[in-house]
Amino acid sequence: MSPQALLSVKDLRVGFATEGGLLQAVGGVSFDLAAGEVLAIVGESGSGKSVTAQTILGLTRSPNARIEGSVRLRDAELLDAGEDELRKVRGERIGMVFQDPMTSFNPVYRVGAQIVEAIRAHRHDVSSQAANDRAVELLDSVGIPDAERRVDDYPHEFSGGMRQRAMIAMALSLEPEVLIADEPTTALDVTIQAQILRLLEGLNRERNLATILITHDLGVVAEVADRVMVMYAGRVVEEGTLDEIFYDPQHPYTWGLLGSLTRLDRPRPARLPQISGAPPSLLAPPTGCAFRPRCPHEFGKCAELPALEARLADAPSHCDRCWLSPERKREKRQVAGQIGLEAPA
Amino acid sequence: MATGEPLLEVTDLVKHFPIKEGLLIDREVDQVRAVDGVSFSVARGQTLGLVGESGSGKSTVCRAMLQLLKPTAGSVRFEGEEIAGLSRRRLRPLRREMQMIFQDPYASLNPRKRVGQIVGDPLKLQGVASGGQLRTQVQELLERVGLSSEHYDRYPHEFSGGQRQRIGIARAVALKPKLVVADEPVSALDVSIQAQIINLLDDLQDELGLTYVFVAHDIGVVRHISDRVAVMHEGKIVEQGSADQVCEHPTDAYTKKLLAAVPIPDPRESRARRQGAASPS
């Protein structure tokens, strides 16, 4: 990890005014991303992971949005950047890949033409022939077979995996420094998912691309991430290196996520450990720790919101928001010999 | 296989869809062999997991098996009785014995109906209950699947994905069916909710003696819930056996490939596996 942060997010808060009041989608998120680093943001629907990523690119701006904090890309502040400035950042410095490869392309234009358009919108001096050659080269580099011919296909002629590859090719067409991938493999079959993950990993290594990977799948995280942020109800509840999060998780929500996985590498339990209840409404979140209503280890102090801070003497970059002492955590997270939230009912 | 007669026995099931061409007269030029000779049986009270990637034919198997699609060929025996090719009328009384849970909890509930009606309709249509008795029964069902009896008068849009799936489950078990076919019932849900729904399905199976055909693309989920697992690929079953046997000692090349692609939520294991793959031993 280089000390030089490429992208720096500080106390990002995103709220949306709704008929039911202010919906606080992101409630103070901070992180630094260095070149060549893969940061995974993990969480469930409504945890604020996608809103965080979209706000970086100015995609959540709207009359009812309340956005505060700071997002710096090298020296440029993005939160108050004008649309013209942002347009230069999008694609050119930060590329984005969305979840659904079926709807991210315009169905009535050829795949190649859409990549050419992305290139020429930013590089006016590139001829359409040169841009087309570049599109072929890009499709080839992400593993589309027979790219020279396939560049003239329409999106519906591509399979889901090929569309996601083409989407990645498009996101890389202007050689951005940062790639944001929002659930890039969720809609894909596992065998295709494995290929896309290898592709992302290779790109990250070869181009020193800084990557934010948003996912709900801890298996995917284990395959590619360097660092992990776990989000719950708009806040980061735990953050650390890949190994810290998997082998020494500090927050009960992380225990719950790890415990409720159906794992092929372990004997199957009679019952699946679960996290009971449902995530809170962001219109009226509980006071104090947002996970409190679902946590079996809740105690008096939890009515007060714990800060996200390092609570382990030997791991300064491993932070969490839980009042339990590290010793108590180590003891409480042991459920039937594995890490989990509680024994299945 | 357990002793006794299987509840469901599918033999050489085939479902082909025609590909037609032509302006005025549709000529059949080819066929999509969605299901191409599939055989399996499910013992009473057990769960058969059907796993495969998109397009492998697993959903078509379910639909053809339940006679929601007319099979091209093959036999489906339910409690020993042949049901393939039965008329709608003859199928009607059997419908209450065979229910289905769908993947998308947002699309599988009628948005204009109240929850009470969605869950109560099967009971009413099959003449099991009516009036105040119907209401009580539905409210009991709602509570049984982890909802509240006060949800009776609400509409589907007022519920989260996990709660909607509970409504779909209540509807499926309302008639106390013998067979429940669940087509990707948890794949649209968040991980923490997935575990809740899987545990609920497990409990209902024990309580009501249900037999499940559980379809999913996630082999981890399938292994957890199933007694037996059948792996589908390109319209055929390439391997079947006990869940542990198929997942731990696969013999078919495709099953092996499928298992190897599942990410392991353990960084050390995952690193070791990738190094192993990078340097072929």
Which residue in the set A189, A247, A264 is minimally distant from B53, CB to CB?
A189
**pLDDT at A61 exceeding the cut of 60:** yes
Label residue A186 by pLDDT band (50, 70, 90). confident
- Is B270 in the A-facing interface, judged by CB distances under 8 Å? yes
pLDDT tens, position by position, A244-257: 999 999 999 999 99
CB contact under 8 A, A193 and B264: no
Confidence of residue B277 (pLDDT cuts 50, 70, 90): low
Backbone φ/ψ region at A69: left (φ over 0), alpha (ψ -120 to 50), beta: left
Quick check: B179 pLDDT over 80? yes
Helix (H) or strand (E) holding B41: strand B27-42
- How many Å separate Cα A280 from the centre of its chain? 21
% of chain A beyond a pLDDT of 70 = 99
H or E, element range at A182: strand A178-182
Q: Do A222 and B265 touch (CB under 8 A)?
A: yes
Q: Taking CB atoms and an 8 Å limit, are A222 and B217 in contact across chains?
A: no
Q: Which of B252, B205, B211, B244 is nearest to B228 (CA)?
A: B244
Which range among A240-254, A255-269, B124-138, B154-168 has the greatest average pLDDT? A240-254
pLDDT at A3: 55
Task: Express each pLDDT in A67-84 by its tens digit.
Answer: 999 999 998 999 999 999
**Å between A268 CA and nearest CA of chain B:** 6
Percentage of chain A exceeding pLDDT 90: 73
Interface of B with A in 191-250 (CB under 8 A): 191-196, 198-199, 202, 217-221, 223-224, 243-244, 247
Q: Of A218, A220, A271, which is closest to B199 when you measure between CB atoms?
A: A271
pLDDT band for B20, please (50, 70, 90 cuts).
confident
Helix (H) or strand (E) holding B99: strand B98-101
Count of alpha carbons within 13 angstroms of residue A106, beta-carbon side: 10
The answer, yes or no, to whether residue B280 has pLDDT greater than 70, is no
pLDDT class of B279 with cuts at 50, 70, 90: low
The shortest C-alpha distance from A64 to chain B (Å) reads 23
Task: Select from B58, B103, B249, B266 the residue whose CB has the most chain A CBs within 10 Å, as the one to mutate to test that interface.
Answer: B266
Dist. CA A257–CA A333, nearest whole Å:
12
- Continuous segment of H or E residues that includes residue A161: helix A160-172
Closest CB to A275: pick one of B192, B202, B218: B192
Instruction: Say how far apart CA A204 and CA B63 lie, in whole Å.
Output: 43
Per-residue b or e along A246-258, where b marks 16 or more CB atoms closer than 10 Å to that residue's CB: bebbbbbbbbbbb
Q: Is B266 on the interface with A (CB under 8 A)?
A: yes
- Residues in chain A closer than 8 A to B204 (CB atoms): none
Closest CA to A276 of B197, B274, B140, B120: B197
User: Dihedral, CA atoms, B276, A258, A269, A324, nearest 10 degrees?
Assistant: 140
- Which residues in chain A have Cβ-Cβ distances shorter than 8 Å to B267? 222, 242-243, 246-247
Q: Minimal Cα–Cα distance from B211 to chain A, Å?
A: 18
Nearest neighbour of B270 by CB, restricted to A190, A223, A273: A223
Query: Cβ of B12 under 8 Å from any chain A Cβ?
Result: no
Query: For position B2, what pLDDT does the model report?
Result: 46
Query: Buried (b) or exposed (e) across A188-218, using 16+ Cβ within 10 A?
Result: bbbebbbbbbbbbeebbeeeebbbbbbbbbb
> Rounded to whole angstroms, how far apart are CA atoms A93 and A103?
23
Burial of A87-103, coded b for 16+ CB within 10 Å and e otherwise, reads eebbbbbbbbbbbebee
Least Cα separation, residue B225 to chain A (angstroms): 9
Q: Classify B39 as helix, strand or coil.
A: strand
Quote the crossing angle between the two packed helices B161-173 and B131-144, to the nearest 10°.
Answer: 130
pLDDT at residue B33 is higher than 80:
yes
Phi-psi region of B65 (alpha: psi -120 to 50; beta: other; left: phi over 0): alpha
Q: Out of B160, B218, B263, whose CB is closest to A223? A: B263
Does residue A318 or residue A193 have the better pLDDT? A318
For residue B3, what pLDDT is reported? 53
For A215-272, the DSSP string reads ES-HHHHHHH-SEEEEEETTEEEEEEEHHHHHHS--SHHHHHHHHT---TTSPPPSS-
For position A68, what pLDDT does the model report? 97
What was the pLDDT predicted at B274?
79
Min distance B35 CA to chain A CA atoms (Å): 19
User: Sign of torsion, CA B103 B255 A189 A94?
Assistant: positive
Q: Measure the CA–CA gap between B232 and B240, rounded to whole angstroms.
A: 9
- Which residues of chain B have a CB within 8 Å of the CB of A221? 265
Question: What is the band of A211 on the pLDDT scale with cuts at 50, 70, 90?
Answer: very high
- Distance in Å, alpha carbon of A71 to nearest chain B alpha carbon: 29
Residue-wise pLDDT tens digits, B105-138: 888 999 999 999 999 999 998 888 888 899 999 9
Q: Which two tokens stand for residue A156?
A: 């519906």
Which chain A residues are closer than 8 Å to B269 by Cβ? 222, 265
Question: E strand or H helix at B70, and its extent?
Answer: none
pLDDT at A234 over 90: yes
Q: What is the pLDDT of residue B1?
A: 44
Å from A222 to nearest chain B CA? 5
DSSP string, A60-106: T--TTEEEEEEEEETTEE-TT--HHHHHHHBTTTEEEE-S-TTTSS-
Chain A residue with CA closest to B258: the answer is: A191
ipTM value greater than 0.90: no
Backbone phi, then psi, for B57, in 5-degree steps? 105, 5
- What is the separation of C-alpha B174 from the centre of its chain, rounded to a whole number of angstroms? 17
Residue B251 to residue A207: CA distance in whole angstroms? 39
Return the pLDDT at A1. 38
User: B84 Cβ partners below 8 Å, 6+ apart?
Assistant: B13, B67, B71, B74, B75, B76
Comparing A131-135, A337-341, B9-13, B95-99, the range with the smallest average pLDDT is A337-341
Who wins on pLDDT, B277 or A228? A228
Confidence of residue A146 (pLDDT cuts 50, 70, 90): very high
> Which residues of chain B neighbour A257 with C-beta distances below 8 Å?
191-192
The dihedral sign for the CA sequence B140, B145, B149, B154: negative
pLDDT interval class at B193 (50, 70, 90): confident
Say if residue B278's pLDDT is above 80. no
The residue in chain A having the minimum alpha-carbon distance to the alpha carbon of residue B263 is A219
Taking residues B247-274, report their average pLDDT. 92
Rg (alpha carbons) of chain A, rounded to whole number: 21
Task: Read off the pLDDT band of A296 (50, 70, 90).
Answer: very high
The amino acid that residue A104 corresponds to is: S
* Weakest-pLDDT range from A9-18, A192-201, B33-42, B64-73: A192-201
Q: Express the helix, strand and coil content of chain B in percent, nearest 5 each.
A: 40, 25, 35
Q: B125 to chain A nearest CA, in Å?
A: 33
